[in-house]
Chains A and B, each alone.
Chain A
């Protein structure tokens, strides 16, 4: 990796940026210790006492979902590739309808702490929980690595740190912070960190969007026209095709990506467990409605940010936006609309947006670590190993050890993983979630005959197929941009496995179900339906 290319952003605001970063750290640590004093039971730790309102959880869901990849990545992609950069956000938003219509309320009513709870109601616990825990951990680790690698690159960029050693230190510090949040704050602390981040992100984005629109007299057409002209690509900048679908393989690759984005969200374990933090399914529904509103308006604003950056900041070869693969677009745009480099307004806005990006990373990594740790403690330790006989106290000790362990593993993996492409890691997490988790969840809710073998087959089948196809794709070998450019063992042409692995996950669940003679799960289907649709016997909020 060419670190010399990574030109630090303006140094004038560095002191201010660092102070704001420290303020973010101070506020989040305060929240964490406040939350640790108010967390006593397992329901407090895993589900924040189920006491968050629909609006609060809606903010937290948005805070959990809008990662640095979507804040900096999408606006950067629009700044560099125009219209095509916008396509990611459409898949990310439409995906919430799957969660709203098919998953959120039913999961809240029929589960307890983890994704596996919902399957385990009518399935044999050991195999189903082991499978669900495996895919939870795999998805979360891929996503976690993406965020941490991003954190290293980003904080390096925002603070002007170019040496690899300092970037490693940043990764370690982010890792240590997330371990502290999760170990002490549990779901309560994590949720409040995500709420604070979501508010910061929305306010920061609204301000920059407003300032951009003012410059163009609130005329979208003029903004787009200027962006197209300044991009040097003319009308093509506003049309499909600069990033995706350049040839036939590329077109199928884009279709595959689109499917994974729209079907992956409702299978992301860190999103699913957020629905347990509300007192009722009604509040879970409200939180998804808020999330759709917040995430949708945020992505509409990134459209303005992306085209605004293309119009107002240089994006040509050798520009900072180009060399940062687009990640610097939002911060540099903030500086530009604040008055430009060296001005007080520009420095303040640059520092504020950098702090928002930093808070974003912290909130997302905390949510992911908590999800993996919960699955290790609740699924593997309490139910697979201890067969449901673990005491609450021992479970709460194990979950903290697990958070520490996963945090440590993530730090150790993130340092060598800095060579990996962040967008690839995120897309892979979505593909696994859509191929492994979504089929099992949907079959379990809507297909009476579905049984343990079907669940296990769909989870492992979708997971293994997605990872296998990526391993033998051009992402890993065979092209100059591959992970291993000097060898070529790629036989699968697409970079995104979803087009094959998602139907394969559904097929595995179908076949697995039919070749099993288990009838117990079908007998319990009516009960599960009553629980899921009415909330009868659902977990209640903790009263303090």
Chain B
């Protein structure tokens, strides 16, 4: 439902929500559980992003500028370049796995608790 008492629709989709929803959102935003959730999310997502980007860009840079190193054969016909390329797959799978575990253990319990609180407060 469009809530006519809120500021004009033009100022954002948020204004279509009932005024009470805004109060509940802003209350939750101040709660220690939410502050903790945001911290836990950021403490994994941001360092992990910086890490995999740096690891990937380093790989690209070495493909360009460290070819002697990349061409070293580790096993017959298998050089550092190919191994590093395959390690990009391994690191991607690993980060995905660890994020899923982190989310399941540390994020999901808090987020579902806060979501229940929102539903209760807004009568959904």
Contacts and interface: CB of A to CB of B under 8 A. Distances in A.
A245 interface: yes
Interface stretch (A85-93, A196-204, A418-426): A85-93
Interface residues of B, number: 68
A254 B34 CA distance: 42
B85 A86 contact: yes
Contacts of A94: 52, 56, 88, 92
A388 interface: yes
B28 to A, nearest CB: 5
A280 B122 CA distance: 19
Interface string A222-242: 101100100000010011110
Interface in A240-271: 240-241, 244-245, 251, 254-255, 258-259, 262
Interface string A521-544: 100101111110111110000000
Q: Is the interface of B mostly helix, strand, loop or mixed?
A: helix
Contact of B67 (A86, A241, A288, A535): A241
Interface residues of A, number: 66
B85 A245 contact: no
Contact of A124 (B10, B21, B34, B85): B10
B19 interface: no
Contact of A122 (B12, B41, B60, B108): B12
A540 to B, nearest CB: 9
Interface string A199-224: 00000000000000000000011101
B61 A239 contact: no
Contacts of B3: none
A296 interface: yes
Contacts of B118: 530, 534, 536-537
B63 A240 contact: yes
A102 B45 contact: yes
Interface of B: 2, 7, 9-14, 16-17, 21-22, 24-26, 28-29, 34, 37-38, 41, 44-45, 48-49, 52-53, 56-57, 59-61, 63-65, 67, 70-71, 75-79, 81-82, 85-86, 88-89, 92-93, 95-96, 99-100, 103, 107-108, 110-112, 114-115, 117-119, 122, 124
9 contacts: A87-B85, A97-B95, A122-B12, A239-B70, A240-B81, A533-B38, A534-B34, A536-B24, A537-B122
Interface of A: 83, 86-87, 90-91, 93-94, 96-98, 100-102, 117, 120-126, 220-222, 224-225, 228, 235, 238-241, 244-245, 251, 254-255, 258-259, 262, 281-282, 285, 288-289, 292-293, 296, 299-300, 387-388, 520-521, 524, 526-531, 533-537
Closest A-B pairs by Cβ, 7 of them: A536-B118, A526-B29, A527-B25, A251-B64, A224-B77, A258-B60, A534-B114
